[in-house]
Structure 1
């Protein structure tokens, strides 16, 4: 009799636990459109992440307070999407704030990517605080990225403080070394005037003086445009790395990891044609021009650019 009572009690407890889990996991009750709107990824991609990351995120404990892998992933996705811990705890019921806190491109020949930098705002760090103040006078990480015509990022550097110039970030990147050492022999990157003019990195003509140079600049701007759109879409999807979502309240090393995670998720969304969230003011997410002009000694691509202008434009 006692054994039967205990068995029945255990079944009731399991049923309560299962109902609690379902009610608190948006994957079990939220419509597909709402999942994309709030978490930026569709249900099947979130489940794929759960399967791939379960070994790293599953707690080796039987404690009732351990968050399941799916909820850990959705907490992160919701924070990336909103940039707001209050929004995270409001959407995922039953989770306390303490738990949360723990190719060729058209119009231009032989282009293999467009390059630019963008600043991700962070809180003032305790160490080397002055190095993170950028020229617009806020603390940031200077993120360098290369994208293709589909707005997918093909290379990213997330490590340098906001005071670092784009040219410095580029010169100290492994991608620059690859080009310099002949690892990539064909094709051009397109960058703005903040970058050095190289045999493999084409920049605009600063003061165009004839129709050919004007045509070159026009084609350059149109073909380089995907990097501006890529940053805009990235920050629309994941507002935690945009001013509209506030400031990343983490030390720089962790902020860099968050930026990298958002870029990986952005590429996943691009590969699977996940709709871009609608913004009330889309222009606010465009990467603003820096207007900085590289003045260093590494401009060794002038002859190549001139030949390109004369032969193509």
Structure 2
């Protein structure tokens, strides 16, 4: 009876040690990543922006997050790599978790995604996303939406779509999407109930 209990405890300890060793190896792999070593074309295919754009986002993220306190804390470059890969592929979090060049577990990645998104919302959105309507125009738009649809506080509508195109002769990889064809990633913004549209091409 005692030998069975001892064997069970020993197996649990061995399993825990094996899992700990896996975590350490995963952290070593994650900390060794350097996406800047990738060729430019492959870099842009993975992250959907060039190295200068990546560096800009990395600088913003690094400047607005606390310095890591733990020895195995996730570095800003690993956080950004994981999030951009996820956004580029439009897939589930487990896809990023299994990537050898990102190597983040799903439980860690969801925290990283939330952190990175929050930093970008606070420090990039106000700088790069502008709505040009005045307060009076916003009140009129909100009133019109409420009268027609019964939804309060709406000052505009936004939607995104892929417009399929023939592969361009230059920089075709920038237009290659996750469905396996070439397209313009377009965002449409309407600030009124009429045909007042702003169209942005996204890369």
Q: So what's the TM-score if we normalise by structure 1?
A: 0.30
Q: So what's the TM-score if we normalise by structure 2?
A: 0.44
Asked which structure has the greater RCO (Cα within 8 Å, sep 6+), the reply is: 1
Structure having the higher helix fraction is 2
